[in-house]
Amino acid sequence: MYKQKIRVGSRESKLAVVQTKLVMDQIAAAHPELDLELVTMKTTGDIILDRSLDQVGGKGLFVKELDRALRDRRVDITVHSLKDMPMETPEDLPLVAFSKRANPLDALILPEGAKALDLAKPLGCSSARRVLQLRKLHPELETKLVRGNVITRLHKLDTGEYGALLLACAGLERLGLSHRISRVFTDEEMIPAAGQGILAIQGRAGEDYGFLSCVDDLEARCCALAERAFVRTLDGGCTSPIAAHAKRLEDGQLKLTGLYVDETSGRHTVGSISGAPEDAELLGRELANKLKGEVADER
């Protein structure tokens, strides 16, 4: 029997492939009539590892090649970590589904076998957002840029280059590395990056992606829309120190917490807003403008 082929694009890193296969497994379980093929590719962001992302063009470097493959029809959909995606989505390549959110929090990882943080060595962190919030918690800590995939970073940690790492819980858990987590920061200690823990599926405008209803999670979609609207309103890219985290409350309301940093003055503020999930993007814009106004009033 003929099966419709769906080619699924992914970065070739181990984590990206694991995440893409999670999505493919969901589709395969719901749609046995589809023939799914994994297509991997190396992106510019995976190749340039000696500089921070904001020095070489931002996290858009992780999606350019995948976008090109979609436009060239070499793949039918692509799977991304939402936190790695630019805040502006091309009109011809919409985000067509959002996976159920995994653990959105950040974690401290110590070297294999270590029981305590070694303050004599720098803490490896590639995120301005994490560095800013870590300095409030531990002003005595020195931080140092670390690039590469999760496995590469853990190797650098375990061979003595760093005293600890800061990484997303979701990536470690998806790789089966939960045992490496030494401490999980609460969302009050360290507000996560917009979209952290959510996988985004991107497609081409005007095409039928009804088969992705088995992947698309309404709560994750609302959280994603609120968080990305917050960052976008503040003109922050995905390498900005700006942070945003939304979650559904027991009463069904959506609560969005945001961190805004004025990169010129260095002033920053944190605030929250709650409202109906269907107003997710409006909530993001409202909170962004509120926090921006607060920082401006301090001048």
Active site positions, annotated? 84
d(CA 209, CA 204): 9
Say which residues have a Cβ less than 8 Å from residue 109's Cβ, sequence separation at least 6. 154, 157, 164, 165, 166, 167, 172, 180, 181, 182
Say which residues have a Cβ less than 8 Å from residue 231's Cβ, sequence separation at least 6. 87, 194, 237, 238, 240, 242, 244, 284, 288
User: How long, in residues, is the chain?
Assistant: 299
Helix (H/G/I), strand (E/B), else coil: 204: coil
CB neighbourhood size of 249 (10 A): 10
Burial class from Cβ neighbours inside 10 Å (0-12, 13-18, 19+) for residue 52 reads: middle
Asked if residues 48 and 78 have their Cβ atoms less than 8 Å apart, the reply is no
Q: Which of 54, 82, 80 is nearest to 197 (CA)?
A: 82
d(CA 81, CA 252): 26
**Side chain identity, residue 56:** V
Helix (H/G/I), strand (E/B), else coil: 279: helix
